[in-house]
Structure 1
Amino acid sequence: MLAIFLKTVPFFALIALGYAAGRTRFFTSEATAYLTKFVFYFALSAMLFNFAANLTLAEILDWRFVTAYLWGCAIVYLLATAVGFLRGLPVTESAVEAQCAVIGNVGFLGIPMFVLLLGPESAGPMLMILATDLIVFSSLIVILITGSKEGRIGLRTLRTVALGLVKNPMIVSIVLGIAWSSTGRDLWQPINEFLTILGAAATPGALFAIGASLAGKTAERVSVAGWLTFCKLVLHPAAVALAALVLFPIDDPFAATVMISAAALPVAGNVYMLAQHYGVAPQRVSAAILVSTTVSIVTVSLVIGLLTG
């Protein structure tokens, strides 16, 4: 367990470095926004394309895997939604809290960390989880918020969802990578080296950007943030583990390990972007991200340590 924790320390140290740079204003919020944009549109996209281009669709798409992951997510999503309703929250706020409970920082934290921590073979399961999160849950929250505000789910809502998916560079990178892989041809060496160099910037850039963005967040409504952190770091991996190991047993134990470990990741930053964009409880999401990321320094290591022995 200690060995796993020590391996995760450099990743969280990079987050801490970014946080310090943000808190001291050495790295302004504007600089953080541009760094995040660089990582999101260029470095991380190059990394995802490279991974997908070296995998076949059969290696990425496993319906039993997706079913187990969705079942685990759905249970926690419904629980968080029900608790929101019991507290008298409207549909929009309950949907945002449910999103916090099941959407982890797979793109910026999970993939860079797990590829180095668990090995390159973790890329396939991680790409599947990332695609599921983006396609299913990012679409769901937009539908729930816009449908609740407008009183109905119309063509404009569905068009917004479709455009969001088409314009998401992570989805585009994965699709293009799989498309290239299907040709059976290797990438031209200069292009492969270009993508490798650019993709190498994703890990330090993403982790630093996470820390710098956390510097602008506050831990208001700590009780709610604590509940959402408990959902994300404890209930989510537990539900996914139940699904992957008992209800829908995954044939590949390593893939199950990656799935459960991914479920233990802290709340993703894109939940805050959606909450801020629609004006639905952004401070609450901000607090959940800050608290869950801090606590995950211990819990992620604990989950991976338990799973890998």
Structure 2
Amino acid sequence: MLEIFLQTLPFFCVIGLGFGAGRTGFFTEEATAWLTKFVFYFALSAMLFRFSANLSFGEVFNIRFIAAYLWATAFVYGVVMMAAFLRGASIEEAAFESQCGVIGNVGFLGVPMLTLLMGEAAIGSVMLVLSIDLIVFGSLVVILVTGSRDGAVGLGAFRTVGLGLLKNPMIVSIVLGLGWSALKLPIPGVMNDFLSLLGGAATPGALFAIGASLATKKAERPLIAGWLSFSKLVLHPGAVAFSALILFPVEPYGAAVMIAAAALPVAGNVYILAEHYRIAPQRVSASILISTALAVVTVSLVIGWVGQLY
């Protein structure tokens, strides 16, 4: 277990470096925003395109995998939402708390870290988890919030969801990469070197950007944020493990990657949406901060355990 901890520690050290740079003011909020944009639109997109262009649709699409992850995530989503309702929260607040409980930082942290720690064979499973998070649950929160505000779910909500997916570079790069693979087009050497060089900036850039963005966050309402962090770091991977190993048995390696992905801390894009809709941004911010700090230990424990499954 110590060996796994030492393997994951450098990733969190880069996050800590970014946090220190942001906290001291050496890296401003504006600088963090531009770095995040570079990673999101260029470096991470190049990495995802290169990985997916070397995969077939059959290697990525797995109905049993999808069923296992969907069931577990929907279950935890429902548990967190019910807990919010019992506390008297509105539908909008409950929706964002549920997002915190199930949406992990798969794009910025999971893609680079899990492919390095568990091997490049993990990328298909990681991309499938990322796609489900973005397409299903990323859409669900927009539909719930829009429906709550308008009193009904109209075409406007689905238009917003559709445009959001079309503008998301992670989804676009995965689709384009799989399309390239389906057409059986070779990747020219120059193009592959370009994608490798640009994609290589994704790992340090994403981790540093996570840390720098955390520097502006505060742990307000720590009890609720602590519960949401527990849901994300413990309940979610626990439910995914039960679903992938017992309910919908997934082959061991795929199940291990799915569980590891579920153990990641709350994603930063949940805060971006919360800030956009002006719904509990401080609560979401605190959940990201607390879950990321605790993930230094919990992610190592989970990866160490799932490593015994395959």
Measured in 2, the distance between the counterparts of 1:247 and 1:155 equals 35
What amino acid maps onto 1:278 in structure 2? Answer: Y
State the partner residue of 2:153: 153
- Match status 1:95 vs 2:95: yes
1:205 match: 205
The two structures, once aligned, show a CA RMSD in angstroms of: 0.5
Aligned partners of 2:110, 2:3: CA distance in 1, in Å? 18
Q: In the alignment, residue 104 of structure 1 is paired with which amino acid?
A: G
Q: Is 2:272 the partner of 1:282?
A: no
Structure 1 match to 2:241:
241
Q: 2:149, 2:208 → 1: CA distance?
A: 36
1:83 equivalent in structure 2? 83
- In the TM superposition, residue 152 of structure 1 has moved relative to its aligned partner by 1.1
- Give 1:25's aligned amino acid: G
Residues 89-238 of structure 1: pairs in structure 2 closer than 5 A: 89-238=89-238
Structure 2 match to 1:300? 299
Distance 1:49 1:113 in 2: 17
Query: TM-score, normalised to structure 2's length?
Result: 0.99
- Structure 1 counterpart SS, 2:218: coil
The structural deviation recorded for 1:159 is 0.5
Read off the aligned partner of 2:134 and give its amino acid letter.
L
Q: Deviations over 1:235-278 (max 9, x none)?
A: 0000000000000001x210100000100000000000000000
CA distance in 1, matches of 2:301, 2:204: 23
**CA shift digits 1:218-244 (9 cap, x unpaired):** 000000011001100000000000000
CA distance in 1, matches of 2:115, 2:304: 16
Cα deviation digits, residues 67-90 of structure 1 (max 9, x gap): 000001011000000000000000
Structure 2: give runs of 5+ residues left out of the alignment. Answer: none
Do structure 1's residue 45 and structure 2's residue 28 form an aligned pair?
A: no
| Equivalent position amino acid for 1:262 in 2 | A
Distance 1:150 1:246 in 2: 40
1: CA distance between counterparts of 2:193 and 2:186? 12
Distance in 2 (alpha carbons) for counterparts of 1:231 and 1:98: 9
Distance in 2 (alpha carbons) for counterparts of 1:64 and 1:39: 32
Q: 1:48-98 CA distances to partner (integer Å, 9 max, x unpaired)?
A: 000100000000010110000000101100000000000000000000000
Aligned residue in 1 for 2:60: 60
Alpha-carbon offset, residue 129 of structure 1 = 0.4
Which residue in the other structure is 1:270 paired with? 269
Structure 2: which amino acid aligns with 1:276?
E
Residues 10-25 of structure 1: matches in 2 within 5 Å? 10-25=10-25
Residue ranges of structure 1 left out of the alignment (5+ in a row):
none
Ranges of 4+ aligned residues in structure 1 off by more than 2 Å: none
State the distance in 1 between where 2:184 and 2:107 align: 26
How far the C-alpha of 1:185 sits from its partner, in A, is 2.3
CA distance in 1 between partners of 2:212 and 2:33 (Å): 9
Distance 2:293 2:4 in 1: 17
Paired position in structure 1 for 2:254: 255
Amino acid at match of 1:40: F
**AA of the residue aligned to 2:292:** T
Aligned identity (percent) is 63
Q: Cα offset for 1:298? A: 0.1
Residue 138 of structure 1 aligns to which amino acid in structure 2?
G
Which amino acid is 1:28 matched to? T
Residues of 1 paired with 2:255 and 2:261: CA distance? 10
Aligned-pair distance for 1:208? 0.0
- The offset of 1:216, in angstroms, is 0.3
- In 1, the alpha carbon distance for the partners of 2:107 and 2:155 equals 29
Tell me the secondary structure at the aligned position of residue 97 of structure 1.
Answer: helix
Number of aligned residue pairs = 308
Give the Cα separation in 2 of the matches to 1:157 and 1:242: 33
Q: Distance in 2 between the 1:276 and 1:135 partners? A: 20
CA distance in 1 between partners of 2:106 and 2:68 (Å): 17
| Deviation (angstroms), 1:308 | 1.1
Distance 2:9 2:222 in 1: 25
Separation of aligned partners in 1, 2:71 and 2:285: 26
Q: Aligned-pair distance for 1:178?
A: 0.2
